[in-house]
Each structure stands twice: as C-alpha cells, then as structure tokens.
Amino acid sequence: MQTVRDIATWQRARKRADFANCTVGFVPTMGALHEGHTTLIERARRENDRVVVSIFVNPTQFNDPKDLEEYPRTWAEDLVRAEEAGADWVFAPPAEEMYPDQARFRVSESGLSNILEGAQRPGHFEGVLTVVMKLLQLVRPDRAYFGEKDLQQLLLIRDTAEAFFLPVEIIGCPTVRAPDGLALSSRNALLTPPARAKAATFAQVLQTVTEPAAARQQLTDAGFEVDYIENHEQWRLGAVRLEGIRLIDNVRRDEVALRANGGTTSASSAARTEPD
C-alpha cells in the first residue's frame, strides 16, 4: 500500500501506468477507521482492480469547532486497517491544499439537505458535498462506496454526482452493527464505558417503537438528548446525544413494523452486516 499526503504527488500518481485500463474503487473516510470502514474497503477490493482510501477530517462539515477538535484521529492504526482490508493507496491531503480558496466555492443543495440532519447542523451537507465532489474529481473512481448509516449523506451524494454528470457509481452499503445493535461509528470511541453500554438503547428504540413521538419520549426518559426521531419516506431516521457525543442511525420503516410485531428482520439490520 502506498500513502500520499499532498495533492500534486497524488495527481502524478493517478496518471501512472498502474492505473491504466483498471477499474478504481474509492472509499472516502475521515479516519478513525473501524470495522464498518474496513468492510467498505473489502467490498471495493472485490469489485475493482485498484482501491483508493482517503483520510481527511473535513473542517467545512463541522458547525461546532469543538466537535472538529475532538474528532478522533488514529493515523497509524488507520494505515494498518486500510492495508489489511485491501487498499492500494491512502490519499490524505492537508486542509490548506483541499481549500486553497478558503472554501469560497462550495456545493449546495436546496431540498433534502435542509431537513433532519441538515436542520440540526446548518452548513453540514454543504461541507460534505463540497469535499466529496473535490475528492471524486481528484481520485476519478469508477465506483465510490458509502455506508447507509449516514443515509441522508448517501442520498445527497448520489443525487449530486448525477446532477453534475460525474462518471462514477455511488454505491450504498448496509450498516455494520456491534453485537448489541449499535451502529458502528468513529464517535463511539469517545463514549465512556457506561455511556457506550447505554448507547445500544438508541438502536433498540429506533428499530422497535412504532411511533416517532413515543420513541423520542422513551429515549429522553433513558437519559438521551434527542435531536430528532422522524419518518422520511420508507425510512426512520434518528439522532441523539449522549455525554455530548452525537449518534445517528436509521432503519427501514417496514422493519420497525416487523420488529414491533415480534417478527424477524432482514440482513441489513442484523448485528453484523455489510459496510457502515
């Protein structure tokens, strides 16, 4: 595996012969890699000749400076995980190179980005779409892989790539969960052991309580600060805070009904599925 930490070197590498006549799979990350990320990389490895992983903690998608400062950074461990999962390249550019214009130019969307997560985090999706479009232009992959845990993000990226006629397939991969059902997230590492044990309640309530208002009340009673629990089209989406750490998750509404009636669920909500 080769590591590149500046854009000029990457652009030269991308023109090299080892990329010629090859399909390229791309997994963009903000680092602090966990099993969800590695399953994305493993899938990219199965489906492409070359696999590129980016590690970039994107400052423009954080509306809280403290959140950006505290976001976990585990560079050495990330390189080991990426290589073991099958990455050929890790691209980790500095912020000053990704935003030489001080983020004067941005990608915005006027619909889906303004509700749910977008309503709670003004400017968040503008930052996400801007950096992902930059990375797609730099990497020029055939396929890019994103986890369904960040469902709203996935839908917006897919629509933006289509709107700008980018020649890339945006592939959504089911959420990876811990044995207790909590969706894997880099932020989970910031929870204390007691909070981590309690966090599983978020997934359980989201997936089993039929009415959003009742789910919000149960989570509030359990000690969570609830940003939202809402139904949107065929999905139930939620965001909560525990010890100040923000957790998000989603589940299909038909699976909520099935669980509420005591039925079993599909593989996408099992304790261990495809990528986060």
Report d(CA 153, CA 147) in Å as an integer: 9
Report d(CA 40, CA 149) in Å as an integer: 12
CB 248 within 8 A of CB 124: no
Phi, psi values for residue 76, rounded to 5°: -60, -45
Report d(CA 109, CA 130) in Å as an integer: 10
Does 232 participate in catalysis according to the annotation? no
Kindly report the number of other CB atoms within 10 A of residue 228's CB atom.
Answer: 17
Q: From the candidates 34, 37, 124, 232, which is the catalytic residue?
A: 37
Report d(CA 101, CA 94) in Å as an integer: 13
Report d(CA 243, CA 129) in Å as an integer: 28
Report d(CA 39, CA 175) in Å as an integer: 10
> Could you give the angle at which helices 151-163 and 124-139 cross, rounded to 10 degrees?
50
Catalytic residues: 37
